[in-house]
Amino acid sequence: MTSRFSYGRIAHAMLWCGLAVASLAVSIPKIYSGATAYPLRPTGPLHTCDSYLKFATGASGVSKDLISIFQSITASKRVIIFTRKDDAFSSGLGMTSAYLASPHLVRLFEINGTHPDNELSKMNPDEVAAVVFCRINRPAWLPAGKVFGSGLEVVSMPETVRR
């Protein structure tokens, strides 16, 4: 009897029971709020991209439209993407656009401010299939492109753009 119910064993059991109860008390509110924070979302092959793009631009179902734009332009040319430094939304839009731009090679430019004139003027337009502006202003000399919600614009370049 002494060995089965020694003080050591009782202390051991109480220690672990106490730790278990305390762990549950700390965890349950966090797990509950994490588990109930989101409703069921629509499913779909691009549902993660759509969610990100909706979050950043406010527009729904953007991924499919972006893919069809990228598919309609010359595959051998690059897609140029402009994002803003120190702007997480802009950076996220840029990377999601790069993800969807496959099989084009892409080039990401992170610029200070919102005017990419300098960088654009240095490029050879013959090598560019499209320019994507992520929370960046399109230069006035560039033809208007397709705008998605707020902050995302894609200018495809079927012919040489001249300044």
Partner 1 sequence: MSALALLGAFATLLFAGYGLLALLVRQETRFSLTEQIAFSWLLGTGAVSLFLWIFGLFFHGVLLRGSVSIVCLSLGFVGWRRMVPLPPRRTPKSFEIFLGIIILIEITIVFYLSFVHTLGWDGLLNWEIKARYAFANGGVLPATYFSDSGRAFSHPEYPLAIPFTELWLYLWLGEADQFWAKPIFPIFYVVGTFLLVALGKRLAGRTWLGLLLAAFLFFVPQITVEVGSAIAGYADFPLSIFYLAAIGCLFCAAEQHNTVFFRLYAACLALLPWVKRDGVILWTVAAACGVFVILRTKRSPLFFLGFLPGLLIICGWHFYLSTMHALQPADFLPINLESLGSHLYRIQPLFSAFLAEFYNLPTWSLFWFVVAVGVVYLLRRMPDPGALVLFTALIVPIFLYLLIYVFSSWPSYLDHVGLSISRLLMHVAPVGFLITILAVCRGSAKNPTRVHEGGMGTCGSAGSERTPMVELA
Peptide bond between residue 42 and the one before it cis (omega within 30 degrees of 0)? no
Peptide bond between residue 103 and the one before it cis (omega within 30 degrees of 0)? yes
- Stretch 55-74: interaction string toward partner 1, x if CB under 8 A: --------------------
Could you say which of 5, 6, 10, 12 contacts partner 1 (CB under 8 A)? 12
CB atoms within 10 A of CB 119: 14
Does 146 participate in binding partner 1 (rule CB under 8 A)?
Answer: no
Could you say which of 1, 4, 34, 159 contacts partner 1 (CB under 8 A)? 34
User: Which residues are paired to 152 by β-bridges?
Assistant: 134, 148
Could you say which of 105, 111, 123, 147 contacts partner 1 (CB under 8 A)? 105
Does 85 participate in binding partner 1 (rule CB under 8 A)?
Answer: no
What is the Cα–Cα distance from 51 to 53, expressed in whole angstroms?
A: 6
CA quadruple 82, 85, 90, 91: dihedral sign:
positive
Can you give the binding site for partner 1, defined by CB under 8 A?
12, 15-16, 19-20, 22-24, 26-28, 30-31, 34-35, 38-41, 43-49, 51-52, 78-79, 81, 92, 95-96, 98-99, 102-103, 105-108
